[in-house]
Amino acid sequence: METIAQLLDQKGRHIWSIGPDASVYEGIQLMADKGVGALVVMEEGRLVGIISERDYARKVVLKDRSSRETKIAEIMSTQVIYARPDQSAEEGLTMMTEKRVRHLPVMNGEELVGVVSIGDLVKAIIAEQQQMIAQLEQYISG
């Protein structure tokens, strides 16, 4: 079973982040530029939150707030659900499903080492299952 660390080794460990004092507009612009749906919020090298497109839609758009005037700190999620590198992709997906999140920062102790999305984990699990099916088919056919 593939670990989240192995998935990060294949996917890459790019971490797109923003500070809590940046405007929501800057955050959404960065997400659009990088093609991601969430950013980790870092302050002095520490993970302090996460902001997603969902946060923007629910906490800015639906409340008729200005994205240029609203700070990331005002809408970010501070109770960050995270995974460890040694956890399996399946454990990560289970956690995401239970907590209803689509992005998981990956923490090795106090160090942020990557971010995985629900799509990353589903892709890894499907690839693993396809490999298992191929092995079983080969075993059955001799």
The domains found in the chain, sorted by start residue, are 4-141 (3.10.580.10)
pLDDT at 134 over 90: no
What does the alpha-carbon distance between residue 32 and residue 119 come to, in Å, rounded to a whole number? 17
pLDDT band at 19 (very low <50, low <70, confident <90, very high): very high
What is residue 137's predicted lDDT score, i.e. its pLDDT?
85
Average pLDDT over residues 14-39: 96
pTM, full prediction? 0.87
pLDDT band at 35 (very low <50, low <70, confident <90, very high): very high
What does the alpha-carbon distance between residue 113 and residue 85 come to, in Å, rounded to a whole number? 8
Write down the mean pLDDT value for the chain. Answer: 94
pLDDT at 1 over 80: no
Q: What tokens were used for 63?
A: 């409340």
Average pLDDT over residues 8-12: 90
What is residue 136's predicted lDDT score, i.e. its pLDDT?
87
